[in-house]
Structure 1
Amino acid sequence: MKIKIIFSTLSFLVLFAVTTIQAQSKTKLAWEKFFQNDRQTSRKLFTQLTTQSTTADEANIGLALLAEMDRPYAEGFGYINKLYKNSANPQPYLFALWGSAAINYNSGRKTPEQLEFLSSLASRKDLDGTLPAMAVSLMGKHYETIKDYGKADQQYGNLGELENWLITGEYENISTSGFDKNYDVLDKPQADAQFKGKNNRQSGWRKVPYLRHDKWFDFSYYNSYHNALQFAQTFVQSPDARIVQLRVGVSGSVKVWVNDQLVLTEAEERNNDLDSYISTIQLHPGYNRVLVQIGESYANRSNFMVRITDEKGQPLTALTTTATPQKYTKETSAATARLQPAAFRYFENKLKQQPDDYLDRLMLAKLYLRQGDIFEARTLMEKLKQEFPQSTYLNSMFIELFSRANNRTGIETLQESILTNDPESALGLELAYSRYVAQQDLVNSEATLKKLEAIYGEDEAIFLKKVNLAGKRKNQQEVIDLIEKAYTLYPNFGTIAGMKYSIERDIRKNPQAIAILQKYIDNNDDYGSAKFVAQLYLDKGEKDAGLNIYQSEIKNDPIGLGIYADLGDQFYKLQSYDKAEKTYLQELDIDPNNSRAYAALGQVYNMMKQKEKSTIAYKKSLLINPNDYDVIESLRRLQDKKPVFDYFIQPDVKALIAAAPTLKDFPDDHVVTLDNEIQKVVYENGGSEEKHIFIAKVLTQKGLESMKEYKIPYNSDQNLNVEIAEVIKASGTKVPAERNQNEVIFTNLEVGDVINLRYKIENYFVGTMASHFWDSFYFNDGLPYVQAKYSLLVHHDKVFKYAFSQQPVPLVKTKKDEFDLYVWQQNNQKALVYEDKMPPMDDVTNKLYISSIPDWQYMSNWYNDIAAAKARSSYEIKSVVNTLFADKPNLDELTKVKLIYKYITNNISYSSVSFRQSGIIPQNPATVINTRIGDCKDVATLFVTMCKEAGITAELALASTRDNGINTLLLPSMEFNHCIAKAIVNGKDYWVELTSNSLPFNTFDNSFIHSNVLEINKTANKLTNFNPTIRGLNTMMYQTVVTLKDADMQIKENNQNTGSAASYLREVFNDLSSTDQLKKMKEQLSHAYPENEIEQLTFGNLNTATATADTVTTSTTYQLLNVIKPVAGLEIFSIPWSNKNGASDLQILAGRKSGIDLTQLFGTDSYDQELILNLPKDKSLVQSYPPVHISNEFVDFNIESSVKDQKLVFKRTFHLKNDFVPQDKVLAFKSFYKQMVDADAQQLALK
């Protein structure tokens, strides 16, 4: 008997083991089919697995996720509910799935089944408190949605969040620049403390009058939160000392101090849920100060919720809070480490045991994604995607991830993948439907819609699509029938209710149509619709009904800042100024930093004839937003001050035209400028605007061609208004120009006509630079001027400097009310005459510089704040750096820097497009990696970020390139046009130019040397004339063998090119086929030797992606035909030097006024050539080649020769020592250069 029992037991264990293995195998197969988009097989397998207790939980999750992809959402919720009711441990899975459509569909309004599920979950005390709290939040949202605010507040009241906050701010946070700074807020908890924030505005601690129903503390209601840091503090009273958990959820970046000890810091701006960050903290008996810092620069939200709980996440009822500052004990013990939420720990532990488990990896990735941990989420998701590259579910998760990272390129790529690989999925069909509709392909739109309806049934979205297509087909009756049916099923869907109203009002002419919308807003928390209905009543003359809606909305949502603004505006329109005043003051009670509300209040007081109050309100508005030019104008009118541009003397266009010169007066010119002037106004608080006036007469057809199109320069932080753009005929007739934004086309333009252009630019600078201004103006250029004038109307308290690049223009300064008017004017200027190889315009013209920026250190600090803050690591940065250095142990720092440089220049293409990029702030480095395009500051910031990730110090530098002038930027400004970077290795600076994929590491074109550079660091207090001690030189070395044969030369040549010389060859030849390379060389050689034959051409290291060295080598064989000429029995020829100096390359005319920019004449730092001339055996030289030795402060040039047997060996060297010849040494250099030309052209004779 005992043997039988043992046998039976063993049999059972074996059967159980086999069954378990089979279940595991089937589960694995179900997930594989799921990820392979075989939803039918996957669903069948998961359905079978629900019958086994060991796999039922996982199967229900799989079925729920499948339902999200191709079934109504309610079906997915059914499986989640089964999981909840039947699982022994549903908590971590529910937590991971909380943001999914299966749980959180139907937006705010929940079904009875959902409410039952949430109510049960909220009552659970055996779970970590986060999950019940989230259930409470969803129930509260449900009741808020249906406008049962009592029940909503009752539910939200169970969250146990900290209340009674004092707030202060705002502080500057453009490009996250404020996060790492220290603020005196930490040291000043007292109620009367004062702080200096944005625009140097004073602020103190203040209470807030209202909170959101859902208990999230939302700074967007209380301050201007964009690009801002804000603080909140409360004082928590504890009856005793205790160890508790601080649980925080945020939108934005966050720091939290408890009793002045930093216990939480997260620089990444995330939008996550409650309890996302958990820390263990010590509460002292009595009061404990909790201080929260929230930052926003790209999160588009700014809020938080703080809960203090026990170790199970349950709120502590023994704690109370007060906003009144209290004495507290500063924390001196060491801060404890952060805790992961329970669900994270659960899946992380499981994956340590089963690292390849599909469900655990998917759940953990969802947790990371929901919490905003992009790097961690993507790490897991990428590994899954490597196994299942075409998975629609994974692609949809990646779309969510890329949406959070603002990676539009990644999203579009994934959408195309879904359309290609899984077109019949719900997401694929949705994408296809949108594309067909955009293409007006109604046949395919209709067919795709039928497939979507088969998946979802006639839900709200399907009805809207049907109505859309019926409308495009102009089938009115079908539209009506569809809306009627949809409204019967979905009366609480706002769009459908609006369509039903339109039918009743516009088609059936039902006078009671508004009742449909009234019913909707009575049952739905939808302020946008309520505002629309209110306006309908007001338009009908039912004033009380319309205003009552606004007042009801305020009662329901007293924090609703926008409602007060809208109601105040309505009172203003109705001329109920006392009520408008009261409403705007209520708005300001919530947000006292609301410039718009102060401006509106100024208008109200003006209408009420309360001039003093109106003035104060307008001034407060401008203190907050100095760039509101409408308010500036309103305030000036109120103060009986004339319009600011009336202070300037306006040009008399008729008089200028009547006295205009003719071609006879300017026979060498094509256009004459009658008036070129700027009228700039700078206000007290920092706003500035300017008018540009340009009046010019066309003298010749060439002048007409140059002036018929005009592009007005302005950027994204400016507003352009073209006031006049016209052609004035000789008869006085005016022909308006055609315009497209800043592009002006002067049509019907003829020789002798005058162009009259006047436009105004309003500047909208923000942040630290908002209170400053800078400008520049040319007093002469390539056109002759009748009048050039710069006028500056600046508030008399505004401190600024000005300087001229050459001769100062006389200044006339006058006082104009609160302004000082500065006028610089110069008349009858001749055009600057172009001279060969002259310096850039800015070095030869007389240019006025104006700036209020204190110094270059101020500029460097400012840009360091906004740009260096972008250099934060991310998933993309870590992944790329790790890949670059993988399997390369013991790399030194310089090698790492070179690898980073090579990655960027080979993988990121240069692109500068205004709608994608800011003119100042770099893109996020991760975005640059994902899109593979960026401008100079984007790739430079990427370089700095990758270096930092590799542990290498790196910095940015702004540059004004040499073609903008060397002797320029006399005063601090933002007039830079380029950005470079450097890595610091072993105390040495290695500079890099990152916009070229052909330049070798640490090299620059000669035309960039001596550019003006501002290093972006904490010590840069001046511009640097860029000429680094460590840089790769631009050189060419040639080894040439020339054999004379009859009238031809047979040439074999090898050369080595470094720096920009290597770059040139790569740019010209790299993308050409071998055949086209030969053609290109023949074409280039033909300029000097029209008759030639190219026989062979090969390159080394031409392609940077595969190059093993920075030096580009060339090996070529070619013939120069008919270059040896018979003269009087002799054979005459010249040496075929590479880089031969030509007389036409430098034209120096008498009376030259400018120096010579030698970078336009010589493209390299040096070149060396060894040339061996093989003489025919029966020939000899008539005379030897004379040696050449030219040396001066600018160049060294030498040619030496020797004869051995029948070989004539030449050594020719050139070295550029100084790349600019001043005007007083031009004639001497001309003589030197002529000697070089003559030496290169020296002819030899054979006999």
Structure 2
Amino acid sequence: MKKALFLNLIGIFCILSSVIGSDSLLIKAWNEFNLNNRNDAKSHFIDALKEDNLKEEAYLGLCLIAITEANHEKAFDYFLNFYKIASDPYPYVYSLWYTDAINHNYYGKKPEKYFKFYQTIISDPRANGTIKAMAYSMLGYCYEKQWDFKNAEKVFSKLGMSDKWLITGVFDNFSENGFNKNYEPIFNPHTDAEFYNKNNAPVKWFKVFANRSDRWLDFTYHFNIVNSVVYAQSFVFCPDDRNVVIRTGVSGSVKLWVNDKIIFSEEEERNTDLDVYNYSARLNKGFNRILIQIGSSEITKSNFMIRITDVNGFPFQDLIYYNEYKPYTKENDFISTNIPIFAESYFEQKVKENPTKILYYILLAETYIRNEKKFQARKILDQARKIAPNNSLIAEKYIELYLRSNNNTDYSKEVEWLKENDKDNITGIKYMINDAIDKENNEELKELLNTYEKISGKDEYFYSISISNAKLLGLNKDIKNIINEAYIKYPDNYSFVYYKYLTEKSSKGTNDGLKFIEKYLKSNFNNDALATLANSFIKSGNDNKGIYYYNKLINIMPYATGYYEELAKYYKNIGNYSKAVNYINLSLQMAPYIGHYYNTLASIYELQGNLINSIKAYEKSLLYDPYNYDTRKQLIRLKNKKMPFNYFDKFDINEIINLAKNIKYTDNSIILFNEKQVVVYKDGPSEERYILLAKVNNTDGINEWKEYSIPYYQNSQNLIIENAEIIKPSGNRIKADINKNYLVFKGININDVIYINYRIENYKNESIINKHFWDNFNFNFFIPCLKSKYELLIDTSYRVEYKILNGQLTFKTKNSDEFNKYTWECDSLPKIKTEFFMPPLSDVGIILHISTINNWNTISKWYLDVSQSK
């Protein structure tokens, strides 16, 4: 008996030794992986594949290394091997869905093995409804890419998403201040209800007649969503009282109501996948109102997908959706609960159970990042870094997180870390290449691109960088050969096809170039390629072919309002005005509150000679887009009214220059004329004109004026330079070189006059304070000024307050039609003498301050509005 016991102990010891020995292979592999010794880690993982109990983790390790090395083929193959043997692969599928492990080139053309993989997921009873919805979506995109729209529609229809929606907007969300405002659409579902949007223009609920094929409702096709809150509602018929799960994916901030009871809200603006916000809800027997609010302020997208499902994520088949008002019973007492994302729960538990295993930290971070849960991702990455401080993949995840968060400081630090700690890391090299491009450092870019080529070869990324930065790399002479090489190697990459089209077009003509796009389109659907064909054929005189491709686009993407406008413009140009009106009305049917579509309609009516309807359309355009200054000009012209800048005093350049001829100055230069003209329209839009004449007296003056930078804000102003030139004593004029707002006056000499005349159009947000106007103006400078003038033309609805500091000015006022005109001016202003430690010019010069804000209540209300949102 003792002998038997001894033998059993020996057997157990041998088994344990074997297990411990095999486990050590994985321990070694992960240790090397954490030190970025990827080749050694690969060797250990490959050895671990010989043990059945280690295969799953070994394949995942090899997959992560392949992702780090940007080897998408191997990444997919390793993951597929893992998938085939894993008892529960779907948390891993969810986590790695957007990586090279599963979906390299997300919307691009994919090999057959990807189709088979998605179909396997769909047919697998282990996969929950969310995973199957993801697979349906990807399979739909794949079918679309190869022009199989029939099968694409079949799989997209399996998502269970309503396409029956009423939408309305847009409401103010500047600095996210609209998120918690109770705008009227929340309380009034009736289709005849009228609301007032952020421009104080009337809006109503209207039907979405066509939606994206992938079932996401994209507000950008229907509204200008910048700094806006928008709403969508659908009425759902349920045959019985039923507990359901409402699963929502969004771009933006979000609130959701069922039967007027708030189900959930998320103020942070995120770009998520489907089924990210999952909450229980109750549908009543009969009709139910589903209402969603989407907000955009920092984000540039605005869309959502809602799926009403059972607890496993499968959509109910017996619900009927309506995009018209139906009477419903309000919900009062239901309390909704959150249903966590299954993959998050899975990896959170795995991290708890395996606190030292880096694999689960990385997969959990990937799961958070894909749905922009930035705080949670940062927290888990911080924990991961404590375990593996030298792991480059963790650094890559940090970089992705910081990019999504617009955190440039930490992003730069992390890129620097990669440079120092893992010079052969592909992701790090790519970020360093971006930095070299930004700095226009050609030598560094060449060196980095050579390093990249040694590791990854001449792949799509290599060619893209080489072509788009050919000038910086000194490759202009070889660019045609490089493009041809890229095109031959990657014929399904539309960027390379387009480059090929451009090179052939420049050397042989448009039609020769277009052959390459047509060839590409035979096996690849791409709406940009179709639009290029349509536009190019029309421009080259082949109208029939151009119209053919535009019609093809409209049939495939009936929700894309811009293509209807393109056809409207075409028919307008050839004089078929009735067809032009029909097409632009299709745009307006789907986007009735986008101002520029009314512009197009107005221009068609004018050509028809229908001036009354043209004026009405321009007025409607301004109603929804008050900052369209071209529309204002067209409307003024049609009404035979005076252009606003014509109300200002005329100035004679030659007269001003002649007056200064006999004046002697010892200063390096003098300002002959300095004027600012401002027009303020009702409710806040304003535009400005600046006129400056300066005479150069000596060499120091030449240095002072040979270059000039016009101050303006690119994000909120449009700059139009009307004149920038040197006026010689002989009267000859030499144009300045202009690069955006930067002027260079070449050939400037003593006694020359610099003449600058430019306009600025202001584009403000729609907050309360920006309905007002305020400004200031300096009249004198550190050089003499013969004349300074400020003129304001402002709508009569405004009351103007002003204050002059450090001097006196001549002041005049005059009523001019719907405007009041104010003028302040001053002549023969001596220079301000500079002194050590003197205050800035704005404190010592003659300054005019103007404002239409006449009490602090307006400012405090605005500040409260903005600050509470944060």
Q: Structure 1 length as normaliser, TM-score?
A: 0.63
* Correspondence for 2:718: 719
Structure 1 residues 673 and 379, CA, compared in 2 at 3 Å: closer, same or farther?
closer
* Correspondence for 1:421: 421
**SS of the residue aligned with 2:101?**
helix
Deviation of residue 348 (structure 1)? 1.7
Deviation of residue 330 (structure 1)? 2.7
Distance 1:605 1:683 in 2: 26
Deviation of residue 842 (structure 1)? 6.3
> How big is each residue's C-alpha offset from its partner over 1:819-848, in whole Å with a ceiling of 9 and x where there is no partner?
333334455667778999999876777654
The one-letter code matched in structure 1 to 2:179 is F
> How big is each residue's C-alpha offset from its partner over 1:263-294, in whole Å with a ceiling of 9 and x where there is no partner?
21111111111111111222232222222111
Structure 1 residues 385 and 286, CA, compared in 2 at 3 Å: closer, same or farther?
same
Structure 1 residues 679 and 102, CA, compared in 2 at 3 Å: closer, same or farther?
same
- Assess if the C-alpha contact under 8 Å between 1:622 and 1:685 holds in 2: no
Structure 1 residues 20 and 281, CA, compared in 2 at 3 Å: closer, same or farther?
farther
Structure 1 residues 262 and 808, CA, compared in 2 at 3 Å: closer, same or farther?
farther
The one-letter code matched in structure 2 to 1:67 is A
* Correspondence for 1:680: 678
Distance 1:63 1:585 in 2: 56
> How big is each residue's C-alpha offset from its partner over 1:1158-1215, in whole Å with a ceiling of 9 and x where there is no partner?
xxxxxxxxxxxxxxxxxxxxxxxxxxxxxxxxxxxxxxxxxxxxxxxxxxxxxxxxxx
Stretch moving more, 231-240 or 2-11: 2-11
Stretch moving more, 512-521 or 605-614: 512-521
* Correspondence for 1:95: 94
Deviation of residue 126 (structure 1)? 3.6
Distance 1:633 1:139 in 2: 50
Deviation of residue 376 (structure 1)? 1.1
Distance 2:654 2:742 in 1: 25
**SS of the residue aligned with 1:588?**
helix
Distance 2:595 2:129 in 1: 41
The one-letter code matched in structure 2 to 1:47 is I
Distance 2:709 2:77 in 1: 62
Distance 1:729 1:313 in 2: 77
* Correspondence for 1:141: 141
Structure 1 residues 539 and 842, CA, compared in 2 at 3 Å: closer, same or farther?
closer
Distance 2:837 2:42 in 1: 76
Distance 1:459 1:89 in 2: 34
Distance 1:787 1:334 in 2: 72
The one-letter code matched in structure 2 to 1:74 is E
> How big is each residue's C-alpha offset from its partner over 1:650-705, in whole Å with a ceiling of 9 and x where there is no partner?
123333444459658x99x9977654433221223532122233446678999888
Deviation of residue 467 (structure 1)? 8.2
- Assess if the C-alpha contact under 8 Å between 1:390 and 1:417 holds in 2: no
**SS of the residue aligned with 1:338?**
coil
* Correspondence for 1:36: 35
Higher relative contact order (CA 8 A, sep 6+): 2
Query: Residue 212 in 1 paired to residue 212 in 2?
Result: yes
* Correspondence for 1:407: 407
* 1:441-840 to 2 correspondences below 5 Å: 448=451, 451-453=454-456, 460-461=460-461, 472=475, 474=477, 482=485, 485-486=488-489, 490-498=490-498, 514-660=514-660, 675-695=673-693, 712-716=710-714, 717-725=716-724, 742=741, 756-768=755-767, 769-777=769-777, 787-804=787-804, 812-825=812-825
**SS of the residue aligned with 1:263?**
strand
**SS of the residue aligned with 1:102?**
coil
- Assess if the C-alpha contact under 8 Å between 2:365 and 2:397 holds in 1: no
Query: Residue 386 in 1 paired to residue 389 in 2?
Result: no
* Correspondence for 1:20: 19
Structure 1 residues 538 and 731, CA, compared in 2 at 3 Å: closer, same or farther?
closer
Stretch moving more, 136-145 or 17-26: 17-26
- Assess if the C-alpha contact under 8 Å between 2:815 and 2:821 holds in 1: yes
Structure 1 residues 152 and 420, CA, compared in 2 at 3 Å: closer, same or farther?
same
Structure 1 residues 483 and 859, CA, compared in 2 at 3 Å: closer, same or farther?
same
* Correspondence for 1:940: none
* Correspondence for 1:899: none
* Correspondence for 2:161: 161
* Correspondence for 1:263: 263
Structure 1 residues 521 and 204, CA, compared in 2 at 3 Å: closer, same or farther?
same
Distance 1:503 1:715 in 2: 36
Distance 1:573 1:778 in 2: 48
* Correspondence for 1:1202: none
Distance 2:625 2:594 in 1: 9
Structure 1 residues 392 and 681, CA, compared in 2 at 3 Å: closer, same or farther?
same
- Assess if the C-alpha contact under 8 Å between 1:791 and 1:822 holds in 2: yes
**SS of the residue aligned with 2:775?**
strand
**SS of the residue aligned with 1:305?**
strand
Distance 2:822 2:511 in 1: 65
The one-letter code matched in structure 2 to 1:794 is I
* 1:1226-1237 to 2 correspondences below 5 Å: none
Query: Residue 294 in 1 paired to residue 294 in 2?
Result: yes
Distance 1:706 1:357 in 2: 64
* 1:107-118 to 2 correspondences below 5 Å: 107-108=106-107, 109-118=109-118
Structure 1 residues 53 and 550, CA, compared in 2 at 3 Å: closer, same or farther?
same
Deviation of residue 777 (structure 1)? 3.7
Stretch moving more, 322-331 or 88-97: 322-331
* 1:1059-1098 to 2 correspondences below 5 Å: none
> How big is each residue's C-alpha offset from its partner over 1:109-166, in whole Å with a ceiling of 9 and x where there is no partner?
3322221221121133443211111111111111121121111111010111234221
- Assess if the C-alpha contact under 8 Å between 1:430 and 1:452 holds in 2: no
Distance 2:599 2:449 in 1: 51
Distance 1:137 1:739 in 2: 48
Deviation of residue 734 (structure 1)? 5.4
Deviation of residue 249 (structure 1)? 0.8
Deviation of residue 728 (structure 1)? 5.3
- Assess if the C-alpha contact under 8 Å between 1:419 and 1:431 holds in 2: no
Unaligned runs of 5+ in 2: none
Structure 1 residues 87 and 645, CA, compared in 2 at 3 Å: closer, same or farther?
same
Structure 1 residues 608 and 337, CA, compared in 2 at 3 Å: closer, same or farther?
same
Distance 1:565 1:244 in 2: 41
Distance 2:537 2:703 in 1: 58
* 1:859-870 to 2 correspondences below 5 Å: 859-866=859-866, 869=869
Unaligned runs of 5+ in 1: 872-1247
Deviation of residue 551 (structure 1)? 0.8
Distance 1:549 1:228 in 2: 34
- Assess if the C-alpha contact under 8 Å between 1:429 and 1:452 holds in 2: no
> How big is each residue's C-alpha offset from its partner over 1:196-255, in whole Å with a ceiling of 9 and x where there is no partner?
221222212111111100001111111111221111112222223232212111111111
Structure 1 residues 832 and 444, CA, compared in 2 at 3 Å: closer, same or farther?
closer
**SS of the residue aligned with 1:230?**
strand
Structure 1 residues 748 and 100, CA, compared in 2 at 3 Å: closer, same or farther?
closer
Distance 1:799 1:577 in 2: 44
Deviation of residue 863 (structure 1)? 4.1
Distance 1:533 1:379 in 2: 49
* 1:211-230 to 2 correspondences below 5 Å: 211-230=211-230
Distance 1:223 1:733 in 2: 50
Stretch moving more, 338-347 or 857-866: 857-866
Structure 1 residues 516 and 705, CA, compared in 2 at 3 Å: closer, same or farther?
closer
Query: Residue 857 in 1 paired to residue 835 in 2?
Result: no
* Correspondence for 2:53: 54
* Correspondence for 1:150: 150
Deviation of residue 858 (structure 1)? 2.0
Deviation of residue 400 (structure 1)? 1.5
Distance 2:165 2:804 in 1: 54
**SS of the residue aligned with 2:230?**
strand
Stretch moving more, 82-91 or 16-25: 16-25
Deviation of residue 358 (structure 1)? 2.2
* Correspondence for 2:316: 316
Distance 2:141 2:656 in 1: 69
- Assess if the C-alpha contact under 8 Å between 2:212 and 2:559 holds in 1: yes
Deviation of residue 785 (structure 1)? 6.2
